[in-house]
């Protein structure tokens, strides 16, 4: 699961470095061997030539007679031994040592990385050709993908049953194949995947065309021959259906749905917020303020918090400069060796499990572990005015390529099993989310119901109440971590619980409107 966080990818670079060295040494050894063999052969050839010019006189020379025998005995043994030396055994042993002792990605990782790329492509509406050129939103970050690279992405999508992306990437593989001087992939293979993914999406006629093209290239391709018959049969069936439905022409003009940014629970609004295309409504923005906060605390009087309102009802706050670079360094250093793939709670069974909708690595840090961790907890108390008595440990999170956390609530809903029950501290009343890195592109925290996106800035923190004073969950706090498009995203969470807040945030019996609670 190395693809889930950027820190693991850095280890992969080390692995690759050692492998490059190993293979370079192997090449050198093989080259030395070949050079030596060439020298032997040159000597043999020279003597052969001389002997052939006049065999009798050559052999009548006792020195020549002797060296011929010697060449075929002592010398030849060396040649044979040289041919027989196995450089690959050592090299293979080295490689398997690296695989066992260094971080090495699995096929599952490759699949995960491919899925992550598809997620980025969808969320940020990246077109396939630009991506293949190594561009993200017009910025060129990396080398181009070859036809074979595109083919592999298509193949991964195909194996996941994702025919939409199979088509996109096989088309790109085909386009690149035509432009590439040396072929990196087989054109028949591209056509076969392309035809089938197009068939799976319902375009049988095009699938048949492509299969015919494939058969022009490889007339004996047995699967293509089979598919051709199959597609032809399907088309005949479809014709009958069309005849049956003749006159029923309303069904032909089905309007294609445009993006729907009105549904706060829909994917369109979420993704538009991630792209920065939707911003906090102007009437809300007009009321937002920035202020200094010192909560009657003498220390804070000297250095009050700089608080910015990002949204009202639900209230979302940004605290500036609340975590120092030193603290961030400590937190990253302590968390890194403990990183595990982040889990989510199954709302039916209460069990913790990994899920595609939350991809990151995380670890928990206790206040006792380092002064900096305790300092941060103390600061959260000052920032929020809430007691840290029942707060959870600091959760540290790193998101890698395409790492994300789809829309969710931080609090446990009424119908959920087990959530926080065993803690005996009540529900998660509030969240403080520290940004411990800037993110090059993507990675916003978005609140679809508030139509608000918070962009990571190293050292700042977001703060909001998840619960109404009545203890009911505030539906409007539903939020998500958008996929990271470029860079690495580090955050840490402090989740504050209900118990011990009775005097700091008294609960009320007044209930909020039902449509706002969850
Ligand atoms: O990383 C983010 O921006 C949000 C993380 C989050 O919502 C969570 O961990 O609960
Ligand atoms: Fe969250």
What's the pLDDT score for residue 45? 93
pLDDT(143) > 70? yes
- Six-digit token string for 412: 């446990």
Query: Cα separation of 352 and 89, whole Å?
Result: 44
Task: Name the residue with the closest Cα to ligand 1, atom 2.
Answer: 481
Average pLDDT over residues 297-319: 93
For residues 101 and 95, is the Cβ–Cβ distance under 8 A? no
Strand partners, 290: 308
Give every strand in the sheet of 461-465, ordered side by side. Answer: 290-293, 305-311, 316-320, 461-465, 428-435, 489-497, 394-399, 361-365, 340-341
Task: Name the residue with the closest Cα to ligand 1, atom 1.
Answer: 481
pTM of the entire predicted model:
0.84
Q: How confident is the model at residue 298 (pLDDT cuts 50, 70, 90)?
A: confident
ipTM for the complex?
0.99
Query: Cα separation of 316 and 444, whole Å?
Result: 14
What's the pLDDT score for residue 241? 63
Mutation test residue for ligand 1: of 430, 480, 494, 496, the one with most atoms within 8 Å of CB: 480
SS3 label, residue 392: coil
What's the pLDDT score for residue 273? 97
For residues 401 and 3, is the Cβ–Cβ distance under 8 A? yes
Radius of gyration of the chain (CA): 33
SS3 label, residue 481: strand
Q: pLDDT tens digit string along 15-28?
A: 999 999 999 999 99
Q: Starting from the CA of residue 433, give the closest ligand.
A: 1
What's the pLDDT score for residue 176? 96
Average pLDDT over residues 350-375: 91
Average pLDDT over residues 31-45: 93
Which is higher by pLDDT, 145 or 347?
A: 145
Query: Cα separation of 430 and 383, whole Å?
Result: 12
SS3 label, residue 126: coil
- Six-digit token string for 1: 């699961």
What's the pLDDT score for residue 417? 62
Query: Lowest mean pLDDT: which of 69-73, 462-466, 493-497?
Result: 69-73
- The proportion of the chain whose per-residue pLDDT surpasses 70, expressed as a percent, equals 95
SS3 label, residue 464: strand
Please report where in the chains the tokens 């449509």 appear, as a residue. Answer: 515
What's the pLDDT score for residue 138? 85
- Six-digit token string for 136: 């993200």
Q: Name residues with Cβ closer than 5 Å to ligand 2, which is an ion.
A: 410
359 lines ligand 1 (CB under 6 A): no
Mutation test residue for ligand 1: of 6, 431, 433, the one with most atoms within 8 Å of CB: 433
SS3 label, residue 182: coil
Mutation test residue for ligand 1: of 443, 444, 445, 482, the one with most atoms within 8 Å of CB: 445
- Give the Cα-Cα-Cα angle 478, 469, 379 (nearest 5 degrees): 75
171 lines ligand 1 (CB under 6 A): no
Q: Is the peptide bond before 16 cis (omega within 30 degrees of 0)?
A: no
What's the pLDDT score for residue 256? 64
Q: How many residues does the chain have?
A: 518
Listed in sequence order, the residues at least 6 apart from 2 whose beta carbon sits closer than 8 Å to its beta carbon are 8, 9, 11, 12, 103, 105, 109
Listed in sequence order, the residues at least 6 apart from 264 whose beta carbon sits closer than 8 Å to its beta carbon are 448, 449, 451, 478
What's the pLDDT score for residue 2? 52
pLDDT(243) > 60? no
What's the pLDDT score for residue 107? 87
Query: Lowest mean pLDDT: which of 5-14, 113-122, 400-409, 445-454?
Result: 5-14
- Six-digit token string for 58: 């050559």
| Average per-residue pLDDT for the chain | 90
The atom number, within ligand 1, closest to the CA of 480 reads 7
The atom number, within ligand 1, closest to the CA of 491 reads 1
């Amino acid at each position: 699961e190395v693809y889930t966080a950027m820190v693991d990818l850095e280890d992969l670079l080390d692995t690759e470095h050692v492998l490059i060295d190993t293979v370079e040494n192997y090449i050198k050894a093989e080259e030395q061997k070949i050079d030596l063999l060439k020298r032997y052969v040159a000597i043999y050839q020279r003597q052969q030539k001389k002997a052939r010019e006049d065999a009798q006189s050559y052999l009548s020379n006792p020195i020549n007679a002797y060296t011929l025998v010697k060449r075929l005995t002592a010398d030849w043994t060396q040649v044979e031994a040289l041919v027989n030396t196995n450089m690959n055994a050592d090299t293979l042993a080295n490689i398997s040592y690296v695989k066992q002792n260094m971080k090495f990605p699995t096929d599952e990782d490759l699949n995960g990385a491919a899925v992550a790329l598809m997620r980025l492509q969808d969320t940020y509406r990246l077109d396939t050709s630009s991506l293949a050129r190594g561009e993200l939103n017009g910025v060129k970050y990396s080398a181009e993908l070859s036809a074979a690279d595109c083919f592999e992405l298509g193949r991964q999508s195909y194996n996941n049953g994702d025919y939409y992306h199979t088509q996109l990437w096989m088309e790109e593989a085909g386009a690149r194949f035509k432009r590439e001087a040396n072929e990196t992939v087989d054109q028949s293979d591209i056509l076969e995947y392309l035809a089938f993914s197009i068939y799976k999406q319902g375009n049988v006629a095009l699938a048949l065309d492509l299969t015919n093209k494939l058969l022009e290239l490889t007339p004996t391709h047995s699967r293509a021959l089979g598919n051709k018959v199959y597609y032809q049969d399907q088309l005949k069936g479809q014709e009958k259906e069309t005849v049956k439905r003749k006159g029923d022409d309303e069904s032909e003009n089905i309007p294609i749905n445009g993006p729907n940014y009105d549904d706060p629970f829909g994917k369109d609004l979420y993704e538009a917020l991630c792209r920065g295309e939707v911003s906090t409504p102007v009437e809300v923005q007009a009321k937002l303020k920035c202020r200094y906060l010192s909560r009657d605390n003498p220390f804070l009087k000297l250095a009050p918090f700089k608080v910015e309102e990002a949204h009202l009802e639900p209230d979302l706050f940004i605290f500036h400069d609340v975590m120092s670079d030193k603290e961030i360094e400590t937190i990253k250093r302590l968390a890194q060796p403990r990183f595990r793939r982040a889990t989510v709670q199954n709302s039916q069974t209460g069990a913790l499990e990994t899920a595609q909708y939350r991809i990151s690595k995380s670890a928990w840090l206790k206040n006792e572990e380092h002064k900096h961790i305790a300092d941060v907890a103390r600061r959260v108390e000052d920032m929020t005015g809430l007691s840290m008595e029942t707060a959870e440990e600091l959760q540290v999170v790193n998101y890698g390529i395409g790492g994300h956390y789809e829309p969710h609530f931080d609090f446990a809903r009424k119908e959920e099993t087990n959530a926080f029950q065993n803690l005996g501290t009540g529900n998660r009343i509030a969240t403080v989310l520290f940004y411990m890195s800037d993110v090059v592109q993507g990675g916003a925290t978005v609140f679809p119901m508030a139509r608000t996106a918070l962009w990571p800035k190293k050292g700042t923190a977001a703060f909001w109440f998840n619960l109404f004073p009545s203890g009911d969950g505030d539906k409007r706090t539903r939020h998500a971590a958008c996929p990271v498009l470029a860079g690495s995203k580090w955050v840490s969470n402090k989740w504050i619980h209900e118990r011990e807040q009775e005097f700091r945030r008294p609960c009320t019996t007044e209930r909020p409107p039902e449509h706002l609670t969850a």
